Structure formats: structure tokens, C-alpha cells
Homo-oligomer: A and B are copies of this chain.
């Protein structure tokens, strides 16, 4: 591997006062916890932080629970209506960690109130909703990010650098699968309800695969997909299977399922180029497999690399965890806000959120119509 030439993240070592940024958050469950941890951790791990987050206000429907969340994570205030955050002048960054059905309206409202926004994925419940969200936020002129956090895995950034450097040659294949096992879970979970979730494994898991394939390989041209629902009466897909062709001629498969016993959080991808191959497994997120030419796969412990995400952490071989992707992601967003730089290409914007949704919709159409479908961006 030649020198991959990372530029390190700018670190102002001025020692002067660090500018602050007020953060308002919608949601305090799984994603709210992960985002809160990022705001609290990044200031001392990436010292000095680009901006010092102040946790101003957190919104949730359950008054008692949101009050407890505020106390736990250190938000100054808890509210039961997200519109209070939109109206709060102390808030410069609106963090939407809520469920899918609450992605679009609050994100648009916050942006139109002049706040920068970060919104969890999938951006909308379908491509139309995602498009509307992107367009209106874009028109508001604020910084915007769709929280495809896996772009901020050290292994993924390293893969992107290797590909950009040309070391992999012409890209010929991408095969990605995101497999989990909890799909038989009973009870009323919003993720199994189309009105609330939009889709099943598709928007929840395949969207991650699609985003990384776009980040690493390029735009997807067309798809030939099938979906399957294993549990009778459920109105979302339990699994999606697709052949895909990229605009640059690479072909491959994209798959997602919640019905794979023994696969806890098994997001794997492999890219084959004319000069080498890369392979990754999220359950071993500190490793990237790299075959230079046909030399055989080398376990690149990404902790060893001179890497923009690594300077924050520990010496080589001291593994980082899943949640650190959010630290890197929000650090990236705060830097873009401070410096007025682009969130793209390393960060996913709402446009990227929309584009992933458009691919998801093409897969659904293909599955329904039994035909190969072009991805047509509006």
C-alpha cells in the first residue's frame, strides 16, 4: 500500500476560547444515546473541539422519560414538543434522532428556522418524502447531514482513500450484505409498521449498504431486486435481495435481512478492482482486509494507520467501538459549521439521504414489477 496521504483534521491549537454551539435534540432512545455520547466525548477526545457543544434542549413525547434523559445526558431543558426546540434561539444545531416518521417535518422546520441539521437515516419513509426534505433544507442554506455513520468507520475512510488513490484500479464488483437476526421479535414495534417506518430491512439496513456503495464505488445505475416478508400480516419487507449495476460498469449484489440466525450485526462488503480487493465485516470493525493485486488478504488493523480518525484515540491495537463513528461524524459536522466548508463528500448530506432513498424505491419497484429498474434521480 502506498502512502494514503490523509490530511489530518484541522486542530486549532490557539488555546484561546473555544466557540460554543447550542444543540437541540429530538429523541432519546438508541440513536439519542449514541448522538449524546458523541457530543459529550468529542470535546476532550478531539481536543480542542471545532466547536464546543452545549446541550440545550431535548424533546420527547413522554414527559417523565425525556426529563430523565435530560438529567442523564446533561441537557439544560426537556420539552415534549419538538417545536419548542425549533423556536429556541439558543439552539444552532438541530439533531434529529427520532423515529422515521418524525424525520421530515421537524428537520425542515428547524432548517427553515435557520438551524443546521443532522437527521438520522433513512431520511424519509420513501424517496418523495426524502426529496422534499432535502430540497427544503437545502433551500434554507444551512449545513445538513444525514447520519450515515458507517462512512466514519476508520476502515471505510481508509478504503475510500485507497480507492481514490487508484490502488484498486478499475472497480468491477461490490457485494454488500447487512444481516441481523431479530426479525422474529413479536410485539408492536414501529419498525414493522409501514406507516411509521416506510419499509423494513430495506430502509433500516439496506440503506446503509447503498450509502456505502455510493460512497466507495459510485452511483448505482439499475437494480433487479426481490423482497420477502416471512411473518404473515407484516406490511414491510423482512429481507431484500438485489443484483445491482453501477454507472461505472461495476456489478454486484446488495442484500439485507433480519432473519439470519447467528448474525448479530453482520454488515459485510467486498470491493474487487482490477488491481486489488478490499473486504470488511462490521463485527470486526477495527480490521480491513486488503489484497494488493492477487497477493492475498492482509488484515490491516486500521488502528495502525496514520488516520484522521485515529489521532483522537489510543495507540495502535487498542480497539475502538461502534459508537465512535458518531464521534467522528459529529466532529466532521461541527468542523463544517465552524469553517463553512462542505459536509460532502466524506459526510453524507441530505442529498445523499435522498439518493439512497431513490435506490431503495427502485428496489421496491423492481420487486413489485418483476423487472430491472433504473434509478432515476429527480
Contacting A261 at CB < 8 Å: which of B45, B265, B274?
A: B274
List B contacts of A255 (CB < 8 A): 175, 252-253
Contacting A45 at CB < 8 Å: which of B30, B37, B276, B315?
A: B37
- Given A41-B41, A224-B372, A284-B284, A264:B316 Cβ within 8 A: yes
Contacting A243 at CB < 8 Å: which of B1, B179, B241, B260?
A: B241
A266 at the interface (CB under 8 A from B): yes
Complex: chain B residue closest to A374, CB-CB: B370
Complex: chain B residue closest to A179, CB-CB: B272
Proximity bits, A206-247, B CB within 8 Å = 1, else 0? 000000000000000000111010100000000101111100
Bound CA–CA A1/B298 (angstroms): 13
CB distance from A144 to the nearest CB of B (A): 26
Copies of this protein chain in the complex: 4
Are A260's CB and B173's CB within 8 A? yes
A5 at the interface (CB under 8 A from B): no
A78 at the interface (CB under 8 A from B): no
Q: Choose, from A118-126, A186-194, A318-326, the stretch at the interface.
A: A318-326
List B contacts of A257 (CB < 8 A): 172-173, 272
- Given A224-B225, A304-B294, A370-B372, A323:B317 Cβ within 8 A: no
Instruction: Name the prevailing secondary structure of the A interface residues.
Output: mixed
Q: Which of A297-350 contact B (CB under 8 A)?
A: 297-301, 303-304, 313-324
Bound CA–CA A175/B268 (angstroms): 13
Residue in A72, A181, A253, A296 whose Cβ sees the most chain B Cβ within 10 Å: A296
CB distance from A234 to the nearest CB of B (A): 14
CB distance from A202 to the nearest CB of B (A): 13
A286 at the interface (CB under 8 A from B): yes
- Given A297-B298, A371-B372, A264:B40 Cβ within 8 A: no
27 A-B contact pairs sorted by A residue (CB < 8 Å): A30-B315, A36-B44, A44-B72, A44-B73, A173-B239, A173-B257, A224-B224, A224-B242, A228-B245, A228-B251, A230-B249, A241-B252, A241-B253, A243-B243, A260-B272, A261-B277, A262-B276, A262-B291, A264-B294, A265-B318, A284-B284, A295-B300, A297-B298, A297-B299, A320-B322, A321-B321, A321-B324
Residues of A within 8 A of B (CB): 1, 15, 30, 34, 36-37, 40-41, 43-45, 47-48, 68, 72-74, 172-173, 175, 177, 179-181, 184, 224-226, 228, 230, 239, 241-245, 249, 251-253, 255, 257, 259-266, 270, 272-277, 282-286, 291, 293-301, 303-304, 313-324, 366, 370-372
